[in-house]
Amino acid sequence: MKIKKLSLQVNFILLVLFFLIPLTSEAGILEQVENELVELADQVRPAVVSLSPYIAKGAIGQGLPNKGRPANAGAGVVYNAEKGLIVTNSHVVRSVNKIKVTFKDGREIIGEVLGADKDTDLAVVHVLSETPLAEVKFGDSSKVRVGQLVVAVGNPYGLNDTTTFGIISGLKRENVNLSRYEDFIQTDASINPGNSGGPLLNIKGEVIGINTAIINYAQSIGFSIPSNMVKHVVEQLVEHGEVHRGWLGVGIDPVTEEVAKQTKGQKGVGVIINSVFEGDPADLAGLKVGDIILKIGGSDIDSPNKMIRVIGAITPGQTINMDILRDGKSRVVPVKLESRKNKTQLLADLPPLSPSGLGFSVETPGKDTNLPNGALVSRVNPESSAGLKGLQSGDLIMAVNGEPVENQLEFDRLLGEIEKGSPIFLLVWRNDEKFHLGLVREN
């Protein structure tokens, strides 16, 4: 059952509410606006479901993960009614194969998790229903603009079928440290725990985002995954059970004012390569440290996160043209991307990293190295945050959050005092130069 489009437009509502409401007709116009919003909510809510951990009768813990945190209660929205596909957040179905799906009319169906993608916090659940399902149309998030009116539907704090109203507060939010591929829509529509996986809708009743998180220490700041990213990920999860992403094999940094002067580039335009991993696509294509990547497949690159998203959206095995700046001159370099999954499998065969959870291991420098005191980086996972930000084997960590590091034991001690989710600032020494590297402790 398709949700019909509503004719009410954002500009019309804003003009009515703020500029064109005569006192004599105020009640009638407001009532019209109210009726339109009620109609939107009534049509959308049947397609929004509640998701909660599944525990089979007579089997304690069956359906729940054997280790780690259990699945959290959350929301989902019917993506394809005919095929019984529901989209939600990956953290809602964390480590489970089955989950209980509760519909607005009270029906409960045990759904199967077809696939989950931690890097975008998206997952797909499949249900078999004898009753036809309602579904909502997924709109084009590239057309979303700041100031648009939006509606969020979910199950905050277990209060099923909750609808809130607000505006788009910001677009293309990144560096929020919620997932690897960040391009969030920010909204002030009230989003609370339990809204995760529910839809963010425009006033036509189209899904423009999947609500994913809030900032606990701030009010009226919520984030949604853009619908265009959702559609791309869902298609791959349904077809493959996982997402296949391209892999380039470089470490990158933003182009600062100082870098721009040294490279004859422009501040904030492109990203500079600070390391090239031997044998990876960038190395095979001839990319070098110091090259500035300006465009990938025609898409402008203005930040490390933007480049990571663009590369991750390209099918492995595909050859793309990269516009780069080298020695002040522009050139185009074709690069054939590998599969990030294959790279991950190769890395998994290497000895385990230190228990820091930061994606690299350290050791105390040998006396014959003539290095100053510190913790020597012995290996870096190139797809970790540290690797993507340019940390290399052979770098020397001299301080953690301003505290001097004498050796590996001192590094481990200082790291152990930092809570999960807290920032970590490393003072790194390389080639007789010092620089700072910012990370976030994830576990």
Of 243, 160, 150, 166, nearest to 199 (Cα)?
150
Half-sphere exposure for 434 (CA within 13 Å, toward CB): 8
Among the options 50, 52, 90, 91, which is catalytic? 91
Among the options 179, 196, 224, 385, which is catalytic? 196
Active site residue 356: no
Which segments of 21-106 does DSSP mark as H helices, in order? 26-44
Residue 87 CB contacts under 8 Å (≥ 6 apart), including other chains: 76, 77, 79, 122, 123, 124, 125, 197, 210, 230, 234
Q: Output helix, strand, coil percentages for the chain, rounded to the nearest 5.
A: 25, 35, 45
- Number of other CB atoms surrounding residue 214 within 10 Å: 20
Among the options 52, 117, 121, 188, which is catalytic? 121
Of 170, 209, 167, 159, nearest to 190 (Cα)?
167
Active site residue 91: yes
DSSP type of residue 135 = B
Active site residue 349: no
Cα distance between residue 48 and residue 319, in whole Å? 40
Tokens read off for 279 = 């044998």
Looking at the annotation, which residues are catalytic?
91, 121, 196
